[in-house]
Every structure is written in C-alpha cells, then in structure tokens.
Structure 1
Amino acid sequence: MSMMDKLKERINTLRLEAESSQDKADEALGRVKSLEQDLLSKEQEITSLSHRNTLLEEQVEKLEKQLADAKAAAEDGAAHGSANETLTRKIQTLEEELEEADKNLRETTEKLRQTDVKAEQYERKVSSLETERDSWEKKYEELADKYAEAKSELEEINKQLESL
C-alpha cells in the first residue's frame, strides 16, 4: 500500500470521525434543548404550585378567623339553644373545611418540594449534557484540524509527485 493510499485512508478515517462527532454533538444539543424545555416547564409548575400554596395559606387563615368568630359567637349565644346548634354546625363545617384546606396545603407543599427536586435534577443533567456537548465540539474541532493538516500534507505530496 503506497503512502498516498495510506494518507487517503487516514483522511477518510478522520472525515468519518469528524462526521460522527458532529452527529453526536447535534444529538447532545437536541437533548440539552429538550431538557431545558422540561426545566422551563418544571419552573412554571413550581411557580404555579407556589401561587396555589399562597392562596391555600390565605384560605386557611380566613377559615381560622371564621372558625374563631363562629366559636366566639357560639359562646355568646350559649343562652339561645337553636342559635347554639346552628353555630355548632357551622363550627363543625368550618373545622372540616379547615382540615381539608390544611390537607390541600400539605399536598401542595409536598408537590412543590418534589417538583423543586426534579428541577434541580434537570439542571444537573442539562449541565452535564452541556459539558458533554462542549467535549464533542472540542473533539470535532481537533479532528477538523487533523483533517486539514492531512489534506495539506496530501496536497504537498501531490505537488512533489507532480514535479517528479
């Protein structure tokens, strides 16, 4: 096998490696974009859950105030039997609503925590993929430089052979 054939074979090998590296870099870039979109979606979900959490906390405060008002009214109306029964039912209803709101608050807080953990995981994964992409781009640039160098050598050898 002549030196020219070896050089051509080496150039073809470098070209294939460069194309493979470019494909891998493009694939990594696609994964990064997908994960960034997922991260954005999770951040929006966190914002939504935080807002919902705030609303539920306000509702809990409102229900606690209503419960306190109802208890105070029940104590004031102890002399009135039927009014007392009505207030007792209202207190019971308010306590049930308070428990439900408290349960919703705990669930929302847990979902918020889980979403926050997932968002952190996605951020780490995006960072890792960006590093991998940068590595592939560096390899691609190195291979492109080697290819240009080999091509230059081949042209120089061709010139020498033509001058003979």
Structure 2
Amino acid sequence: MKHILIYILFILTAALVVLNRYTSLYINSSILHFIVLFTAASSFVIIIGHLFGKLRTIKSIVITFLIIGGITLGKAFFTWEGDWKTQTVIYKNIENGNQTIEFQLKASRFAFGYRERIIERLKIVPLIDWTTAVDTTALNKSKWKRVNIRINELNLPMEAGN
C-alpha cells in the first residue's frame, strides 16, 4: 500500500513539474515549486531504490532525502530568477472573478532591472495559476471590467503623482 502512495505522489508531483515547465500552468510560489520538485525527485529515487533492492533502512532514506534536498536547493539557487509579482490588476472578468488581466514584474537576480509582462491569469487553486499573454488593445470590453487595482507585490516605491 505504501508503495502505491509513493507511485501516486511521484506521478502527481512529476506531472506538476512538467506542466509548470512546458505549459501555461504557473506555480506562483517559489517555496511550493521547491516542495513539488523535491517531492518528485525524492519519490523517484525511492521508487528506483526499491526496484533495485536498495534504500531498505531509515538511515539510507534520510541520507537520500538530505542529498536530494541539497541538489534541489542548489538547482533552485542557481536557476531561480524570481517569481512574477503582480503590480496592477488592470481588468477583471465580469463572469469569473478568478480571471484577471494583470501587469506583472519579475526581479532579475543576476542582472539589474525588471522583466515585465501583461497576462491573463486564471487562478486555479491557491498558488497555482493558468497564465497566457494577452493583447489589451484587442480585448473584448463586454467581458472585462477595468479596475486598475494597485497591488505592488514587489513593494516598489510609488512614483510621484500615483
């Protein structure tokens, strides 16, 4: 029974990692992303260890977790650019309150400045969104209400006059 739970855990977390990487699904919390990546890698190694008859003791499993934790922390440190942070919610969908059009910034860790984007964001569950690039000039105004809500998740200083 516990082997089946490890297989299910691996399938779910590996699917989330792949979907986050190759589709518009976006895990918007670096902590959740690390936990999902760590769980996928750990469960995969435990499955392989069980298939080859290794990882039979608690000590070997704990050491494996520590090694995988170190590797995933290193990967996160060297590849993490930062999270996209909402600065302004520009539009809100009239029919679905979980669907917004937002102006977002991402601080670059190894370069100066910010990357910016305007996206349509559908909040699926807390910390997981479906995001797509959107052109606000070709927007169907009958489905969207302009709200211009300043969120400022990066806590940038407000410009004069704003």
**Which bin holds the TM-score, normalised by the shorter protein?**
under 0.3
Higher helix share: 1
Q: Relative contact order (alpha carbons < 8 A, sep ≥ 6): 1 or 2 greater?
A: 1
Query: Greater Rg, structure 1 or structure 2?
Result: 1
Question: Between Structure 1 and Structure 2, which shows a larger proportion of strand residues?
Answer: 2
